A and B are shown apart, each in its own frame.
Chain A
């Protein structure tokens, strides 16, 4: 029997009953992030020693030697309290810098970053000198972005991306957004993989040997350090712990794991190693309850939670680097490492087990933003008790987990060519993106396309109001000369197609530049398919290859298109010229028109047939266009609707829109309706459930906010169950009322770090920029406590 607990909520276990976790949690919250220069120092040291200029590229073997050098020389850190050894950086909460990606973006503010308003980072004078004098100058021509620029003659697509408002191809900063195969690490160990390639020859396999040796060397260093620490401590209990840690690190990840602590340590060492290879944004963990369940034996639930808690707090030992404006407009996110639990097994049976509930309990106790918990729920296979427990955790934490419905997600993956077993075994990457963990290299956050910018260009003949008189897209028909709504929709599609082409081109060129200067041999070791094919993940080695697109501003654009159809072409209440004039003037002098538009019933997320028809049309268009294009690894582009905090930042750059939206207002998050435009919860859920999920293979983020209260649980359970039964794909809920959020914004000192759901991931409300805080406050709040 896989679930043995009588009390699924494990009420007897509290944070006070696990003093180690309580203390580690306190340390986590009170520690301010500091910049760590270990990775850039070792990286640059190696390159200089070998006489390699980064812009000239690096072979797979040399890249593996570099990785090994970093891991052999990386400081072996054992915390005073944690049961796991090793850390991403040399700091308690570090900000790793990657000079081969976008590390240089903080060069201008190195001397002021410690006192910036939003999310300051500590840095010493020596570290400033190290970066300013030794590291950054060496990489000036050797970042992914600059290598792409020089190798491909400063392509127009790169220049358009650098205007930020149109789209972002995240490879300049990061790939991540994938799930390594941790199952093989704990079940077989890296030594097994070494043995597997014993007789294989060639550059790729040589690189694989080197990187595995590097990881084992780091584990051995940790083992030695733990032993040293054990010798030095007077605390008998801690000495025993340290000796155990030492023994474990000598064994894993080289060998297979036998205990939960070994499995967690093995995964953690590999995770650290991956962070030395490339930036971590949304490097996710996969189905941890399935991976770890075989190792839950011989210990109590309390001990298991203690170990899992130690691991989760380790995952939160670093935060991403962001320049100041980046923090102000787009910041607040952690590393967004998703953990997936529940759902069905590969062969289609209920997958929930004791580990599922242990992970839920740990999340409930810790309430940290990383990892980002995603649960799978199959309405026909999972129990109601399981759903009840999920809802309880959401109410107690106010913001987590994120709910995914197995039925449409699996259908969407099958439609992308996944086998039945692999689709059944999906996990979530980053925010909400489903992939077959360890088997897909999907870079699910490869492109973020601002759909509102496409609309702007359609309204202004290929120009954008932010970039003024610069002709960005094709010079399409003036709106005043457009004869019908369908004709305008074609214009919108011409501009969108143009930005799709540009975004795909730059993503593919950046992918090639990335491979030239930073192949990923260790990620390739941990991605199924690469070893069999003898190819790096960046060369298409993975079993499944894809690139993910996230569309920003969908509901605002649909509402705008509805308004154009209704008011310009049907009711003829205003000419197209008049509507353009109104948005140019930010509705000044057009308040009556704005009110009429705002009060229209044709809105995304309502019962409107028009809105539904236009949404289906746009979804189909985006899916079809992106799927037509191939990525640099020979895979497909999949489309999703999630926005992280980009909807806040891009909203500030977007002018008034025909939907009635005012200048600089935040765009709606994910696939959520515009705040206030869809007042009925049932309509929203029904609208979402009817969308064709096969065209949303990169996931969507529907954000809902519910008023907390005594009798919420039963209705909450019923709502999620009903939504999933009618075909809803995903939903995530903040259980918090508007007044609390407003008070929190005005008096942050009164509150402990409060978790909120942003658009796919959780964040601390205080860390979010003011636009994002306002967006969450403004989100429609539904009251499930009402009696019908």
Chain B
């Protein structure tokens, strides 16, 4: 449970993130350099929504696992940890070694590939297509990636409704 005094803060933060997110959705062309920022933005909004939206939180009930997102050259590395109904995000250094191997790793060829994976047209996140296009390489347990993709899709679909966030 979060402290109720923090609710206004979270609301403002959510609004800011949502605005940035929707701008990204609306952008006709996505700059490559934006990809890393967007990855963090997406994971941050997810993390926040898990705290404040019970209907969104239910998607990670009993979800214990780690997913690493990284570029082929290790320049971008972000670790998402699902634990105790929360999502924690941690940026990793290129050379950093993890004590426990993540359950799954998503390795993207370049920032555009990451964007295609994170922000597919019409909210249709298509892992198989990304693999076939050699845009991403998946390592580890695919079911963790499928579950993450469902949550990301759900978030994108909800945000694309434009009205208020509803996570039914």
Q: Which residues of A contact B (CB under 8 A)?
A: 104-105, 107-112, 116, 125, 132-133, 136-137, 139-141, 143, 145-146, 149, 154, 159, 162-165, 323-326, 329, 466-468, 652-653
Contact = CB atoms under 8 A, between A and B. Distances in A.
A107 B148 CA distance: 9
B59 interface: yes
A125 B150 CA distance: 14
A192 B122 CA distance: 56
Contacts of A143: 143
A107 B132 CA distance: 18
B144 A325 contact: no
Given A146-B142, A324-B126, A164 B150 contact: no
A400 to B, nearest CB: 30
Q: Which of A108, A154, A162, A652 has the most CB of B within 10 A?
A: A108
Contacts of A116: 124
A513 B4 CA distance: 49
Nearest to A465: B134
A468 B134 contact: yes
B166 interface: no
Interface in B127-141: 127-129, 131-132, 134, 137-141
A324 B131 CA distance: 13
B116 interface: no
Contact of A146 (B127, B132, B141, B154): B141
B119 to A, nearest CB: 13
B62 interface: yes
B131 A145 contact: no
B128 A149 contact: no
Q: Is the interface of A mostly helix, strand, loop or mixed?
A: helix
Contacts of A326: 128
Contacts of A324: 124, 126, 128-129
**Size class of the B contact interface (CB-based, 8 Å):** 20 to 34
A125 B166 CA distance: 14
Given A111-B150, A137-B62, A467-B134, 14 more contacts: A107-B147, A108-B149, A111-B157, A112-B124, A125-B168, A132-B150, A136-B146, A140-B144, A140-B147, A146-B141, A149-B140, A154-B139, A468-B134, A653-B132
A707 to B, nearest CB: 36
A468 B107 CA distance: 14
A111 B61 contact: no
Q: Is the interface of B mostly helix, strand, loop or mixed?
A: helix
B58 interface: yes
Contacts of A107: 143, 146-147, 149-150
B74 interface: no
A137 B63 contact: yes
B153 interface: yes
A112 B121 CA distance: 12
A149 B141 contact: yes
Contacts of B127: 108, 323
22 contacts: A105-B128, A107-B149, A108-B125, A108-B127, A108-B149, A112-B122, A112-B123, A112-B124, A125-B168, A133-B58, A133-B61, A136-B143, A140-B141, A145-B142, A154-B139, A159-B139, A163-B131, A323-B127, A324-B126, A325-B128, A326-B128, A653-B132
A140 B62 CA distance: 12
Contacts of B62: 137
Interface of B: 58-59, 61-63, 65, 122-129, 131-132, 134, 137-144, 146-147, 149-150, 153-154, 157, 168
A145 B150 CA distance: 20
B124 A109 contact: yes
A107 B129 CA distance: 15
Contacts of B122: 112
B142 A104 contact: yes
Contacts of A468: 134
Given A137-B147, A140-B144, A140-B147, A109 B134 contact: no
A366 B124 CA distance: 36
Contacts of A112: 122-124, 153, 157
Contacts of B154: 111
A466 to B, nearest CB: 5
Contact of B128 (A140, A323, A467): A323
Given A109-B153, A133-B61, A164-B132, A139 B123 contact: no
Nearest to B141: A146
A120 to B, nearest CB: 12
A635 B144 CA distance: 35
Contacts of A105: 128, 142, 146
Contacts of A329: 132
B88 to A, nearest CB: 19
A108 B58 contact: no
A280 B134 CA distance: 30
Contacts of B58: 133
Q: Which of B122, B126, B138, B146 has the most CB of A within 10 A?
A: B146
Nearest to B137: A163
Contact of A162 (B59, B63, B126, B131): B131
Contacts of B61: 133, 137
A653 B157 CA distance: 30
Nearest to B146: A107
B134 A466 contact: yes
A154 B142 CA distance: 12
Q: Which 3 A-B pairs have the closest CB atoms?
A: A108-B149, A325-B128, A107-B146
Contacts of B59: 132-133
